[in-house]
Structures are given as C-alpha cells and as structure tokens.
A and B are shown apart, each in its own frame.
Chain A
Amino acid sequence: MEQVESHIGQMGVDSRKLGVWLFLASEIMFFTGLIGAYIVLRFAHLQEWPHPGAVLNIPLTGFNTFLLICSSATLVLGLAAGQRGYREGLQVGLFLTILLGSLFLLIQMKEYSILIHEGLTISSSMYGSCFFTLTGFHGAHVLVGVIWLIVVFIRSMQGKYTPEDSMGVECVGLYWHFVDLVWIILFTIVYLI
C-alpha cells in the first residue's frame, strides 16, 4: 500500500483527521435539514401528534441509548490502550464497540417490527414518516459505522496500528462519537419531548 510518510500538514493536524472533521461538518448540516423539517412538520400537526410514550417504547430505546453511549466509552478505552502500545486492549475495545453497535441495530430492528405490526409505517401518517426517516437515517449511519469498525478491527488484528500511528482508529472514533451524539439529540426530540 502507501509508503510510510507523514500526513501532518501545515495545520499541525493529520490530513485524514481533518478530512473526517470536515465530513462530520457536512453530516451536521444533513441532519439539520432532516431535524429542521421534523420541527416544522411537528408544529404544523401539534393536535394530532401522538405523545411519544403513547406509541414508542421509551424504556427499551432508553436502554438502547445506554448501549450506544457505552459503545463510545469502549472505543475510547480501546484507543487509549492502543496508544499505550497495549494491542490486545485495542482489539477488545474495538470488539466490544462492534458488539454494542450491532446490538443497538438489532434492538432498533425489533422496535421497528413491533411498530409496523401496530400499524405505524413510513406512509401511515406524518408522524410515521418523520419517525422512520429520522431514526432510519441514524440507523444507516450506525450500520456504516459498524462496517467501518469491522474493517478497523481486522486491520488491528493484522497489527496495522502502532502507538505512534493509530489514526485509523481515531478517525472511526470521531465518526462513531458523532453518530452517538446525533442519537442523543434524536432520542431527546423524538422520544422524550
């Protein structure tokens, strides 16, 4: 693959990291568009908008939120272990993160199937459209994150990351924490408020 060379540029930051940060800036605007539309449409339908607890299983999704926050923590611990040169720690951290992320997706799929069974679909009402679009795009981001983590995990098994260069782990970490953060916002405005 590429020859070993420094990616640190004039800004004093690795290009790959800078690129991920910029990508996340665009992701913020993407979710801003969706959330903005959600707010507008919800205010236009205040009367018929169901109370979140009436339709959604908040304890279940609350548990799911807890899993996702834990997955951020396991990733941070894994990265810290990797940067200390403790490779097994990195691998365990990545593995647990993948496990928790997959669990999140499984629970979300279960939640979807229950809701669809109860008659709430993307086309059944404006509420359903907003709910599935917002949470669905977040779920897609988690899926991408899990796949990316699996790639990083395989590379860590091959010994690609050293204490000096664990940028690959840092980059997926940035993305993963961002997805986590988006979920906390979505959980608040879709499930709690």
Chain B
Amino acid sequence: MIKYFFRRLFTFVLSLALASIVIFSLVEIAPGDPASFMLGINAQPDTIAALRSELGLDQPKINRYFDWIGGMLTGDFGISYTYRTNVTEMVGDRLWVSLPLAIYALFLSTVIAIPTGIYAAAKRGKTGDFAVISATQLGIAIPNFWFAIILVGIFAIKLQWFSAGGFSGWKDGLFNGITSLTLPAIALALPQAAILSRVMRSALIETLGEDYIRTARAKGLSSSQTIWTHALRNALIPVLTIIGLQFSFLLAGAIIIEQVFYLPGLGRLVFQAITQRDLIVVESVVMLLVFAVILVNFIVDITYMLVDPRLRQDSI
C-alpha cells in the first residue's frame, strides 16, 4: 500500500517537472517578443533592449527556467508584463472564482449523474432507462453556453431569482457568492452530468453481469440490494476516472461560460494574457492548471487504492 502511494507520488512529481519544461519551452518557441509588443511597433531598438534586460529576458534560458520554477515554489509568480502587478495576486483573485465554480459544478454534476445513472442501470431496457438515455443524449448534444443563455433568460430575466452575470466576490457573505455562481455552475454541470450519468449506467450494467452478482442473488439478496452492496463500489472505478477528468476540464475550460456570465475567472485571464503576449501570466496560469489536473489525478489514483483491495497489496 505504501509502495503504491509512493510510486504514485513519484509519478506525480515527475509529471509536474516534465510539464513545467514543456510549458516553458512552448512559451519560448511561441512567436512574439513581449518587450516589443509592450512598447508598440514604433519603439526604438535600444528601448526594447533596455526593457528586455529589465524584464530579465536577456538572461540565458536555463537561468530563467530555474528562476521561474524557484519563484513558483515560493509562491512568487513574477510581475505581469502588461499590468505591471504581481501575478500571484492576479491569479489568486481569479482562483477564488474559478475554483469554487469548478467544485460547485462538479458537485452538481455528480449529484445529478450518479443517481440517474444508477436508476437507468436498475431499469435497464425499460421506460425509465430510455428516459435517462434520451435526456443524457440531449445534455451531451447541447452546447453549455446555449444552456447558459437559456438559464439567464428564465431564471435571471423572467423569474429574477439570480443575477444575470458578474461576481460580487465573497465579501458579501458566502450565500451571495454561491448565488452568483449558481447559474454558471448549472450551465457547466449539465453536459458533464450527462456524460457522467452514461458512464455510471454502463459501468453498473457491466458489473451487474458479473458472476459475483449472481452469487449474491443466490444468497438471497434482492436485485436492488445487489446494486447497493456489491455492484456500486465495483462500478465506481471508471466513474472516478471521469470525475477526475471533468474537474480538470471545469477548472480551465469554463472560459465561454465565464464570458457569458461575465465572471472574472482563470479562463478569461489566460485568454487576455495570450492576446497581450503576457507570457509570464500565461506560463504561471497554465502551470497552475497543470498542477491542479495532476493533483486531481493523483487523488483519483489514491482513491482507487481505497476502493480496490487488490491495489492495496504491494505485489501489484
């Protein structure tokens, strides 16, 4: 068990190191010099050179890489080229929107998907199953920004239960913060829930065909008891994998939804930074997202171990 943990931990660290090298190199290769971009097309070469040295861009690549990594590790992400402010603060502010939004959406998606998936599997081949399948088909087919617009139309404009957009921050209390994230979270969660529900359904149906389910039935368990006590935990492994992937997607992939609801999230920050060649912001945010993705996958791997005793044994 301990070996499994450390092996995962080792891959976790190794993936981070590799990712940092890839991100750094990609940003280096990308065309466009931040200094000349900041000064405009009419800038003098010596002004550009002066700015380059001020920003540290004239240092050898290897030094800049380690400066960047060292800064990251101590929580110093550098200074934004365009805003001239601390990137750590910028990212931190945005993270307070994006992270709760992602967790909220993931929570909603799981809460919708798992029960519907189980219900469909229990009723496989019957009307209930058909209804869930049709609904999830719709959920996958409809783009989430369209959902978002419909939600705004109904709940913000017509019913006026929620605001149509913007985020007032967490200063006005937890409830206000959650309320302003509700519509975006629903819009994000629905398509994810549709996918997750299908994964839950098919994983459960596959598990229900296993021999040990028949054994459990032979012991006198009813078919719904076998689902709860035997099938569900076995079917959870593929579902966990998808939940891990979805969290990573929700954290960074919310850009369109952020746009629709005018939320100051990480997606918009990256988008703006890319258009403005603010490489230090791009690097930092992307690295942060990669960190989150790898961390979530690490946690999923550890959860596998808790679910499956075969992985707890060190010989595997």
| Chain B binds chain A | no
Q: Which residues of B contact A (CB under 8 A)?
A: none
